[in-house]
Amino acid sequence: MTLKINSDELSKQTRGRNFRYAVASSMASKITTVAVQIIAIPLAALSLGAHEFALYAMLMAAVGWLTLSNLGIGPTLVVKLAAAHVHGSISEEGQIFSSAFFPALLISAVVSLSAMFALWVLPVGSIFGQLYINDLPTIRMGLTVLICIFFFQTNISLFESAQAGYQRQYIANILAAVSSLPCILAIYIISKINPTPVDIILALNIPVIIFKFGNVVWIMWRSPHIIPSLVNFRWDICKGLVKNGMIFSLAGGFGNFLAHILPVIIIGRRFASDISASFSATMNVIILVSGVIAMLATPLWPAISESVARGDRDWGKRAYRRLLWSIMTFGFFVALFLGVGGEWLFSIWFKGEIIPSQRLLLAAGFYFVALCWESAHFSILIGLHKIKVASILMCIRSIVGVVATIVFIPIGNEAIPFVAMFISILIVNLIPLRKLVIRGLFN
C-alpha cells in the first residue's frame, strides 16, 4: 500500500512538473511566434502592397481546404499514448504509433498529389475572382509550395503528437521558439528585395520545417520503439484511431476551415483589396492570440488522460477550474484591447496602411471571448476521451456560422463573419459543452 501511495504521489509530481514545463516552453514559443507576426505581417503588407498582401492571405486560405483531409489522428494519438504509457508496454506504444502513421502518410500523399494535379490542370484562378485573374502564375506557384508544406507538416505533426503523449511537448515548444529567429531574419531580408507572395510563404515556413525535421530525428533517437514499421501496424488499432480522429477532425479540420479560413475567401471575393486586407489582418490576430489558448490547453490533453487513467479526478477538476479562469481572463483582456485600442494598434503596426474598422474589431473581440469558452471546454473533453459529441457540436456551430455569413454578407459588411460565428457559439455550444465537462469530471 505504501508503495502504491508513493507511486501515485510520484506520478502527480511528474505530471505537474511536465505540465509546467510544457506551459512555460509553450509561452516562450508563443512569444517568439508573436514576435514573428508583429514583424512579418507588417513587412509583408508594406513590401507587397494591398493587392498582393490580400492575394497572399487568400493563398494561405485557399490551401486550407487540404486540412479537411487530415484524419485528426494527432489528438487521439496523444491521449492513447499517454494512457498506454501508464498501463501498456513499449511494444503496444510502437503499435499505436505505426497504426496512426501509415494511414496519415497514405492519405496525405494521395491528397497532395491530387491537389497538385488539379492545380496545374484546372482553372484555379477563378476561385480568387476577377480581381486576381492576371495573377495565375503566382497563384499556381504559391499553392504548389503550400501543398508541399502541407504534406511535410502533416506527417511531422504525428511525431510531435507522440512527444506530447509522453508529456515532453516542451522540447517541440523550445525548438519552435528557436526556429522563429531565422524566420524573422528571412522575412526581413526578403522584404528588402521586392518580394512576391511566394517569397513570403517560403521565408515563414522553410526555417520552421527544418527545425521540426530535426526534432523528428531526436524523437526517433530518444524513443526508437515508435519508429514507423509495417510489422507494428495493427488494423484494429488503426480503425479505432481513424474513427476517433475523423470525429475530432469535424471540429479541428472542417470546423476550423469554415470558421477561420473560408471567411477570408468570402470577404476577398466580395470586397475591395483594402477591406479584404483589413479583414485578413484581423483574422490573423485572432488566430495568433488563439495560440495562447493552445499554449495553456494542449498540455492538459495527456495530463488529464493520465490522471483519469490513474483514477485521480480531483487533479483534473482543479486543472479545469484554473484553465477556464486563465483563458477567460485572457479572452476578456484581448476583447477589451481590440475594442479600445485596436485601431491605434493596427495604425502603428501597419504604419497606417491597414486599419480595420471599429465594428470589425469589436465583432472580432466578442467572437474571441466566445471562442475562449468553447476551446477551454473542448480541450478538457479531449483529455477525457469524450470528443464525439463535442466535435459534432463544434462542427454544427461552424456550419451555422458560415451559412449565416453567406446569407447576410450581401446586405452587411466585413464584420458579418465574426458576428455570425459569435452568435453560433452562443446558440449551439455555450451550455452543452459545459454540461459534458461537468458530467465527465464531477459525476
Model pLDDT for residues 39-60, shown as the tens digit of each residue: 777 888 888 887 888 888 878 7
Residue whose cell numbers read 514507423: 228
With CA atoms as reference, report the closest residue to 415 among 255, 266, 291, 290. Answer: 266
Q: What is the mean pLDDT of the chain?
A: 82
Whether the per-residue pLDDT at 190 is higher than 80: the answer is yes
Write down the pLDDT at residue 27: 65
Q: Minimum mean pLDDT among 21-30, 162-171, 192-201, 347-356: which range?
A: 21-30
For residue 192, count other CB atoms closer than 10 A to its CB: 9
> Which has the closest alpha carbon to 409: 196, 307, 265?
265
CA 438 to chain centroid: 25
For 13, 219, 254, 393, the CA distances from 144, given in Å and listed in that order, are 47, 29, 22, 34
Q: How far apart are the first and last CA of the chain?
A: 27
Q: What percent of the chain has pLDDT over 90?
A: 22
pLDDT at 3: 42
Place of cell 463544434: 394
Per-residue model confidence (pLDDT) at position 431: 92
**Using CB atoms within 10 A of its CB, is residue 313 exposed (0-12), middle (13-18) or buried (19+)?**
middle
User: What gap in Å lies between CA 182 and CA 136, rounded to an integer?
Assistant: 30
Mean pLDDT confidence for 132-159: 87
The pLDDT confidence band at residue 186, using thresholds 50, 70 and 90, is: confident
255: DSSP letter: I
> Which region holds residue 88: left if phi is over 0, alpha if psi is between -120 and 50, else beta?
beta
pLDDT digits (tens, 9 = 90+) for 419-430: 999 999 999 999
Q: What is the pLDDT of residues 333-392, one digit of tens each?
A: 999 999 998 888 888 878 777 889 999 999 999 999 999 999 999 888 887 877 778 888
Domain boundaries in the chain? Answer: 23-441
Judged on CB neighbours under 10 Å (0-12, 13-18, 19+), 182 is: middle
> CA-to-CA distance for 29 and 216, rounded, in angstroms?
18
Q: CB neighbours (10 Å) of residue 318?
A: 11
Do the Cβ atoms of 375 and 320 come closer than 8 Å? no
The predicted pLDDT at position 272 comes to: 83
Contact criterion met (CB below 8 Å) for 152 and 187: no
Q: What is the pLDDT of residue 74?
A: 76
Place of cell 492576371: 134
pLDDT at 120 over 90: no
93: confidence class by pLDDT, cuts 50, 70, 90: confident
419 three-class SS: helix
Structure confidence at residue 399 as a pLDDT band (50, 70, 90):
very high
Start-end of H helices in 255-310? 256, 262-270, 273-297, 300-309
Lowest-confidence region among 60-64, 106-110, 214-218 = 60-64
Cα separation, 136 vs 134, whole angstroms: 6
CB 276 within 8 A of CB 267: yes
Q: Find, among 73, 443, 406, the residue nearest to 262 by Cα.
A: 406
Q: What is the mean pLDDT of residues 106-111?
A: 87
Confidence bin at 5 (pLDDT 50/70/90): very low
Euclidean distance between CA atoms 349 and 344, whole angstroms: 8
Rounded distance between C-alpha atoms, residue 222 and residue 216, angstroms: 10
Please give the grid coordinates belonging to residue 200: 513570403
SS3 355: coil
- Which pLDDT band, with edges at 50, 70 and 90, does 125 fall under? low
Residue 84: phi and psi, rounded to 5, are: -65, -30
| Contact between 241 and 76 (Cβ < 8 Å) | yes
